[in-house]
Structure 1
Amino acid sequence: MEPILLLAAELWWVAPAAAGAGATGYAIVRRRGTVNGRRLGYDAARFELRRAQLDARAAADAARVARADAARVAAERAAARADAAALASARRALREAQLASRAAVARVKVSRVRVSTERSAMTAGGMLPLERLRARHDALLARWMEYETDAARAIAFPGMSDGRQPATAAFLAALERARDARPRPESRVTAEEFAGYRAAVDDLERTFDVAERAARGEQVHPELPDALWDAARTFAIRTSDSVIAWTRKRRP
């Protein structure tokens, strides 16, 4: 889909945010029990942790199988029943399985931090989890619209509107996924749906960062493991929440 058409599709909820310079307005969501209340982020974080733990166990099992298979092929190679290519392939599969297992363990650690962060946020007051997430989404859309509506920016950084650029194409795809995952106003949202929307917004922020830096001519590494991005994002959010809480305590 062309960037300008995507922009028009997004405007149904972002127009108020774009009216002010850099404004990031958000839709107000009424409380409906605990489903869309303060527990939503915490419940979603616990759901993500359980899923990450299952993925980590599966990745660890896959790594053990790959290790055993590599040992088998090495023994067959020593007995001249396997060639060098088979041994190299088995060792490469083992390395990939081990890396996948380490990444899965990192995601578990990140998920645990997020559970702790969301538990603290439940008592911190302020915006509800869904409101905060929508605000993050709207803030990024407002940043993107600056490239689409500002003629000077469009001329200086044409790559941000060129879907043929790999980084921009990845961002535009993430833009559609986040739009589809965004709950409608006043809708009831489950922990699983919230987790999916949060993952889509996280991915949108990552791909926008890569596309923006690529358009500016910087060297980018989009293959950076998601676990590292998630760890940095979680640390930033946790630090921001701590600063807000400290500031409120200092106010008379």
Structure 2
Amino acid sequence: MTQPFDWINKSNNDQLAWIASYMGRKAIAGSSLFTLVKNHNQFGYQEMAKSLNLLPDNAEYREASRQMKSAWQTRQHRKKHGNPVSLQMPKESLKKLNALAKNHGQSQGNTLSQIINDAINDQKRDTAQARGDREKLRAQLNKQHEKAQQIEHDYMTVVNSLMNTLAEELSYRCRLEAFVGGWDDSPLESNDKQTYHDLVEKRVSHAELNTSKLKSLNCYAFPTLRMRMREQAIINGIEESDTGLL
């Protein structure tokens, strides 16, 4: 004949320990139902379980067994699935949740859990994408910074070369003036003009070797050295504005 507490598994020490704690709480609350049960501290869990099976099979103990079993099952469910919670939401939201649950053929709780999990996954994807975008932007900024540094280095190299060229030209001029004397505003003769053009061509060609990097830096928006020398030749009356010798 089945007894009220036959559902107890005597080989499950976790269950027996929980039952001992459960009966202790009931005793503290004033219940005298389990006064006939042997104390586990004195006799051990096995004797405690045996004494539970010896309790009378009546309505009072069947109800006590039902409540204990229900409490144990609730504990196991919470241990496996977590403690259930109640949420309050607007009626319209609850209505939509119920519709989603019906469409998916599952409970409202499972539907809500799925919505939350989907939102978390979306957030993770967005976070990963944002992280990737930041890394991409950082790489672009580093590349631009390196390019800017290279441009600055090339620019300074060109400026330094031009300064050296200018120093050389000034040195040539000073040496020429020291050799033949100073120059005046007298017009150049035909032979002198040709000599001038030859000298200018030589000097400009040499200077252009040092300014080649300016083309790649898009720095040729200003007049070239050749154009400037032609302008000076026109100003000084060495050539006409439309001869195009330089």
Q: Could you say which TM-score interval applies, normalised by the shorter chain?
A: under 0.3
| Higher helix residue share | 1
Give the greater-gyration-radius structure (CA). 2
- TM-score, structure 1 as length reference: 0.23
Q: Which is bigger in relative contact order (C-alpha 8 A, separation at least 6)?
A: 1
